[in-house]
Structure 1
Amino acid sequence: MDLNAKAVWTPRLLALFRVVFALLFFAHGLAKMTGFPTGAQPGQVAILSLFGAAGVFEFIGGAFLVVGLFTRPVAILLSGEMAVGYFLVHAPQGFFPSLNGGELAILYCFAFLYLGIAGAGAWSIDAARTRALPS
């Protein structure tokens, strides 16, 4: 792959990665906040509970990341949320993530940490705002 193609496709694939991860994360928050879709785990939870607070972060933070708004700070915040979630919910159930159900929390944590450093990619409100700033 020549350098020009790499320069064009790297930010596009970063944006695609961001949108897919954010949509999946948004769906977790949606399930916690509304119980939709029926049967999704953990289902609707009390908004004033620890899981409810996580649902708010996941719903609002996921929406921000889908459109690529304030990507870096939101992603760092969500990375921390997933780290806390892992150590509060999953780690007490055992050491191995494959046994304690924490694999997804770890994946989200590190994916959001990456987005917090890399940014939103090409197709985002952040990129549009950057292009609109005067030089």
Structure 2
Amino acid sequence: MQQLDQYQPQALAILRIMSSLLFIAHGTQKLFGFPGDGSIVNYMSLMGLAGILEVIGGICLVIGFKTRIVAFVLSGMMAVAYFMAHAPQNFFPVLNGGDAAILFCFVFLYLVFSGPGAWSLDSRS
């Protein structure tokens, strides 16, 4: 298994990039109705702010720009989203639709402590 350790920075980068691309899709769905049914949220609402943070923050994480700061903000946003929108509906995340919010929250929290891994603007300095 030690042979796999050498690929840790690349594996972390893949986790960062793929999680961020999925996160961006949540934002584009809110802001542009894609993917989805074409309905969009009011940009001046909390959902609009969430969509803006999901797209802009997601792009920053995909390219690994200010990873720790952006991941901290997005992790907190997902924790707030879970407790505001999902937890009141049901105790169980799989029943309240909040499992993605929890997963994003903890993946982003991990990025706060781990950094971006390979293939990032942050690692170029």
TM-score over 0.5 for the alignment? yes
- Structure 1 residue 38: Cα displacement: 3.6
The CA RMSD measured in Å over matched residues stands at 1.3
Alignment of 1:124 with 2:120, yes or no, is yes
- Compute the TM-score of the two structures, normalised by the length of structure 2: 0.94
Distance 1:52 1:36 in 2: 14
Report what 2:84 is aligned to.
88
Report what 1:55 is aligned to.
51
- Structure 1 residue 44: Cα displacement: 1.4
Unaligned 5+ runs, structure 2: none
Alignment of 1:2 with 2:14, yes or no, is no
Distance 2:32 2:112 in 1: 28
Q: Rg: which structure is higher?
A: 1
Structure 1 runs (4+) deviating above 6 angstroms are none
Percent identity over the alignment is 53
Distance 2:95 2:49 in 1: 25
Distance 2:11 2:2 in 1: 16
Alignment of 1:67 with 2:79, yes or no, is no
Distance 1:52 1:30 in 2: 10
Aligned length: 125
Distance 1:127 1:109 in 2: 23
Deviations 1:65-111 (A, max 9, x none): 00000000100100000000000000110111111111110000000
- Structure 1 residue 39: Cα displacement: 2.5
The one-letter code sitting in structure 2 at the alignment partner of 1:116 is: V
Report what 1:132 is aligned to.
none
